[in-house]
A = this chain, B = another copy of it.
Amino acid sequence: MIVVMKPGSTPENLSAVVKKIESAGLRTHLSKGEEVTIVGVIGDKKIIANLELQMMAGVDKTVRITEKYKLVSRDFHPEDTIVEAGGIKIGGKEVVVMAGPCAVESLEQLREAAQAVKACGAKFLRGGAFKPRTSPYDFQGLGEEGLKLLRKVADEFDLRVVTEIVDKDDIEIFCKYADILQVGARNMQNFQMLKALGKCSKPVMLKRGLSATISEWLNAAEYIMSGGNEQVIFCERGIRTYETFTRNTLDLSAVAAVKELSHLPIVVDPSHGTGRWKMVAPMARAALAAGADGLIIEVHPNPEKALSDGDQSLTPEAFKELMSSLDGIAKVMGRSIS
């Protein structure tokens, strides 16, 4: 950390700052400029993190130099991590596609969707059984019954299951039915759930919060990893901006950023990321070209009848067309699909 002193600060201000830092067991390094004096703070990150100097007399501001996350950082783990879920590798040479309806509605709906996505090369069946909805009056999902349907249908079609968990009390039951536990955008900083997931044996897919910075996202993953669960996958799903044409603004530069800062895999959700089914295909292609390790895409056997998000779901036909166009991009990137 760097402490910037104000132009008019006194030598007494400076020595008080230095004293406070040193009495916390840290070292200081002074740099006197023409206008301002700067104090470098050297030592244990954790102690620095809790050292608050901004209010001290003569202090202009403090600037953090290093990030707090460690286990998540590529600095501490230079090679790419490959997460394995239900025998499928994520983060390796193969690009993994997860697909299915937004919400689990019925056995028939799920079977139709599973058949369609399996036929096109998807490895995971996605679908929400517990849905976090803005209004309490919206459809909230089938609950455990939905999880059972997911598992049953996935097994029928040799698919794996990825589904969203919204309550830490449900971890045990999710571990029974799902291969990847997804943390949704609204729960990215539900730290109690993240800590509990740190003790869990299944991989966790951590979606980026609606307005989370890259740094906050990586720190949220650190909550899971520091609990002992090293199987974390990031998922970019669009951030909230002023633009209203799209539901969210899909931030594909986050793919490049995560690849630079972390060793963990990252997948992209172009369905929620745009909220418009016509944009799913171009954004899915762009995600792979940006370096994503996978995609999670909404496919509904009959989007016109979907109980939620119908406007962003692909038909099986549109999904098939997309998958064939992804193949070429994957090859250019030195990877493959299916």
Contact = CB atoms under 8 A, between A and B. Distances in A.
Interface of A: 2, 4, 7, 20, 29, 31-36, 38, 40-43, 45-46, 49-50, 52-56, 63, 65-66, 68-69, 75, 132-139, 166-169, 186-187, 189-192, 195, 209-211, 213-216, 219, 222-223, 226, 239-246, 249-253, 255-257, 259-260, 273-274, 277-279, 282-283, 285-291, 303-311, 313, 325, 328-329, 331-333
B50 A308 contact: yes
Given A2-B38, A31-B40, A289-B288, A136 B226 contact: yes
Contact of A167 (B7, B46, B192, B289): B192
Contacts of A244: 213, 244
* 10 interchain residue pairs of minimum CB distance: A52-B310, A54-B311, A328-B332, A211-B211, A29-B31, A31-B40, A289-B289, A286-B290, A285-B289, A68-B135
| Stoichiometry, copies per complex | 4
Q: Is the interface of A mostly helix, strand, loop or mixed?
A: mixed
Given A137-B46, A191-B166, A66 B249 contact: no
A143 to B, nearest CB: 12
Contacts of A209: 210
A68 B169 CA distance: 29
Contacts of A240: 211, 242
Given A190-B187, A192-B166, A253 B273 contact: yes
Nearest to A303: B55
A125 to B, nearest CB: 21
A331 to B, nearest CB: 8
A40 B42 contact: no
Nearest to A223: B136
Contacts of A210: 209-211
A38 B50 contact: no
A257 to B, nearest CB: 6
25 contacts: A33-B42, A36-B66, A50-B138, A132-B189, A136-B191, A136-B195, A136-B222, A137-B226, A166-B191, A169-B169, A186-B190, A210-B210, A211-B240, A213-B243, A241-B241, A243-B251, A253-B282, A253-B283, A255-B282, A256-B282, A256-B283, A257-B279, A259-B282, A286-B287, A332-B332
A256 to B, nearest CB: 4
B242 A253 contact: no
A253 B257 contact: no
Nearest to A305: B52
Given A33-B42, A239-B249, A259-B282, 12 more contacts: A4-B65, A52-B307, A53-B304, A54-B310, A68-B138, A132-B191, A186-B191, A211-B240, A213-B244, A241-B251, A253-B273, A285-B332
A209 to B, nearest CB: 8
Contact of A286 (B222, B289, B310): B289
Contacts of A134: 68, 189, 215-216, 219
A310 B55 contact: yes
